Amino acid sequence: MSKYGKEIAIGFVPVLLAFLFFIGVNPVPLLLVAVIAGSLLLMTRMRGGAGLVGGERSKPRAKLPSFLTFDDIGGQDRAKKELIEALDFLVKPELIEKFGIRPLKGILLMGPPGTGKTLMAKAAAHYTDSVFVGASGSEFVEMYVGVGASRMRDLFKEARQKATKENKANAIIFIDEIDVVGGKRDGGQQREYDQTLNQLLTEMDGLHTSESPRILIMAATNRKDMLDSALLRPGRFDRHIQVDLPDAKGRLHILELHARNKPLAEGVSLRKIADQTFGFSGAQLESLMNEAAIYAMRETAERIEERHLLQAIDKVMMGEKTDREAAAEERERVAIHELGHAIVAESVRPGSVSQVALSPRGQALGYVRHNPPGDKYLYTKRYLEEQIMIALGGSAAEEMFYGERSTGSRNDFEQSLGLVKTMIDSGLTELGIVESSMLTKEEYSKANADILDDLTARTRELLAAYRPVFDASLDILKKEETLSGDQFRELLRGVELQPTA
């Protein structure tokens, strides 16, 4: 307000009230409205000044550094190396001029969720000293025609303005889940999606690669097959980098990164945890370390023990423990079911059982945690058959003791059917090398039934020989709720097997 603003307002209000009274308007309601509005304005100002201490605004809490480096990303050595090589064209422009290289316009990161694609894009911005502007594909989806295309133009405009303002030579635009706006054009009714994609193609058409600041587009997807071919051609997304799930070495590196600010107890082996987390993504490994710290905090422990980490593995895989109370008969059936899985697993792959648990977790009433023998990417017929037998072990054990199955075997059967399909698709059955989609329903059902019937019979025969193990393990499991792998193997060694017929 100006110097004389308050005096003018004070003098104007009585005149206005007198004028309203003179023309017959009741000024009381207006006064009430003015009082309420003034009170709200005063409260807003007081709330905004709540952080003032002694006439000065209180200092904000210290924040972590906003930048991210490639050293902070674990488990993606090959992908990082390939990405850094592409980014060097921005960092070392003299190489471009020397060899006459066309600057890259776009880099596409592909891989499962949680593998670090967004982190790599942020690290790329720090590595190249570029402005970083991020967006999600869903931000461009709108029911009104032209809005998505307009937002795409604004995104590139914002990147150029920020780079100019901060005096940066480069800007990186990152679009997560690009398949939302970059899907294949089929000529259907979704013309808004086409307009947004067309605008993105125009921004990446290669006509402005020499402009300053230079724009590098990075995008992430786990469905490359859904993207339009015009988007994938050279000159737009020049590099396609696969960001896979980490191997054992990568998982160990990720665990070590997330353990830097956590008090681990002496003797905790992160290598052992890495070996037991085959198939975990980087996001799941971060969650594992976080959940382990929560378990330690709940117990008011000074440090994170190995048991906390093992509990966290179960939590990430299957969910938190539940407080469901099952009847004694049902608990015994669940114990028989899980022991069936464990006995078959330990028989076909000695040393593979890590724990047998009877405690409900997530949707599971019980579970068996396995020790992966190592990272496997190729599977033989024998391996897949053994995996099916392990899945069928629970239902076969129930039939052996109760004469019938239960609904608890549903997920096991789904897993078995998926493995049979893999065998058929891979030419590992008596059908030979075939295209499964060309098989009739009768042919497919017969092949599926033949495989499962044979493996079910073998599983029953195996469990019949190990029947004494159930008697030795059942009471302990119902009482303690858990059996470690070592305890279970000791029980296996301590019983006399029954001869098969």
For strands 56-57 and 106-110, give the pairing.
Answer: unpaired
Q: 248-318 in CATH: which number?
A: 1.10.8.60
* pLDDT for the residue 342: 93
Name the strands in the sheet holding 106-110, side by side, starting at the edge strand that comes first in the sequence: 131-136, 170-176, 214-221, 106-110, 239-242
Catalytic residue (one of 177, 338, 385, 386): 338
* pLDDT for the residue 45: 55
For the cut 90, the answer to whether the pLDDT of residue 102 exceeds it is no
Q: pLDDT grade, residue 478 (50/70/90)?
A: confident
Check the CA dihedral 480-484-490-491 and report its sign.
Answer: positive
pLDDT in tens, 37-48: 766 666 655 544
338 is catalytic: yes
Please name the residues in contact with 108: beta carbons below 8 A apart, sequence gap of 6 or more.
178, 218, 219, 220, 221, 224, 232, 237, 239, 240, 241
29 vs 167: which has the higher pLDDT: 167
Mean pLDDT, the chain, as a whole number?
82
Domain 70-242 has CATH 3.40.50.800: no
pLDDT in tens, 336-366: 999 999 999 999 988 888 888 887 776 677 8
* pLDDT for the residue 144: 54
pLDDT in tens, 311-326: 899 888 877 776 666 6
List the chain domain ranges. 70-242, 248-318, 328-493
Tell me how crowded residue 9 is: count the other CB atoms within 10 A of its CB.
Answer: 10
Please name the residues in contact with 122: beta carbons below 8 A apart, sequence gap of 6 or more.
67, 68, 132, 174
* pLDDT for the residue 150: 84
- DSSP conformation class of 267: T
pLDDT in tens, 422-460: 999 999 988 888 887 788 889 889 999 999 999 999 999
- CATH class (in words) of the domain with range 328-493: mainly alpha
* pLDDT for the residue 240: 93
Mean pLDDT of 85-109: 84
Element (H, E) at 95: helix 93-99
* pLDDT for the residue 12: 64
Please name the residues in contact with 376: beta carbons below 8 A apart, sequence gap of 6 or more.
383
138 vs 252: which has the higher pLDDT: 252
- DSSP conformation class of 363: T
